Structure 1
Amino acid sequence: MICPKCKAENSDSAKFCKKCGTKLEGNAVNHETLINSMNEEKKSNNTKIIIAVLIVVIIVLAGAFIYLQGFGNNSHSQDASPSQGSASNSASSADQGSSSQSSNAKSNNAQSNPMKIISGSFSTGSELSDLTYANIFVGKEHAGKSVILQIWYSRDGSTLNNGNMVPVTVHSDGYLEVQSADAYAYYPDHATINLYDSNSNLLDTKSVSLSPTSGTQTF
């Protein structure tokens, strides 16, 4: 028997501990039982230690996984940013290129279709005291543009007017309209039309023969 007080081993028939004198009857613990109890306690402690170690390992691994995931996402974002910037720059460049092409197209169109005197008409009154009116067609695509119109009227080779340069705006129907400053002593038999841009650069000129009578004559 094992003394419950000092743990000294005694014979199974002993009634008192041989070491401390404690009464053993009813209090003594069987040696085998004590050994088994100690072994169970030791196993329990070992199990607790193993569980604690496993928990620590799991926590460390989880932390490492989370860290690596975050690092990977940051790296991906940084890699994506230049690409997005490049895409944005490409889109901006494309827009600028498109705008530039559109401007060039308009410029080329204007150069390929400069303003010219296409057709028109002259109107004179029934009396020589009436003014002479000119309607010059240059095309609807030039509507709203400001130009300068000069018309020389003559009869039998003699000039009838001073050929004033008159600023006018192309109407929505593509026509320019201008009247003579004064009435003429004779009906004109010829008109020379000069068309200038707003900077007085000559765009076109046209010579028109007229019948020296009243009425409207087209060309």
Structure 2
Amino acid sequence: MTKKKPPQEKLLAAACDIFMDKGFRGTTVAEICARAGTNIAAVNYYFGGKEALYQEAWRHCLTESMRRHPPDGGVSPDAAPEERLRGRMKALMRRIADPENKDFLISQMEMVNPTGLLEEVMRTELIPLRKETLAVVRELLGPDADEQRVVYCEACLVSMCVHPLLMQRVRQKTKKTEAPMFANDLEAFAEHVVRFALAGVRATSGEDEP
């Protein structure tokens, strides 16, 4: 006999799907409750309102995505920094490409029509991950690299991982079949991006200060 999900789990699942498709402002509490099969008062009862449910839905999606794709990519913390960066970059790309991942698309909807509601929860969850990546980049650049160079390199590395795959997810979601699918072989694309990134970091580490 299949165990029934509790109402809060049904609400979270419904909210993740609808917020991903319509964003915060395009989503109604009634729509969430109808999809979850709950009373319309359930959102206030379990989450305290639509705003809190929005924040919890994004956090829930991120947690599930991290569970499927641990941010270190399964690479030992004792591995060389090149391997640790490779693990982190590939894990990030796999997360974005995963069709079950919803936190990136919810974030995209928030960027298109910002509410400010996700600022604090995103800061809390994402800053520790960014600090870990910055630490690896700092190690690769060496002790003479200033902090600005570290931050620039990290921003470029993350952009190479996020932008192309997120745009591909958006194309898939909007069914724009005429757009090229350049990452059909995710692992080959990820390895190319990592090699390109490591070469860039190595070149940057030899720069003279401006």
| Structure with greater proportional helix content | 2
Larger Rg: 1
| Structure with greater proportional strand content | 1
Give the TM-score range, shorter chain.
Answer: under 0.3
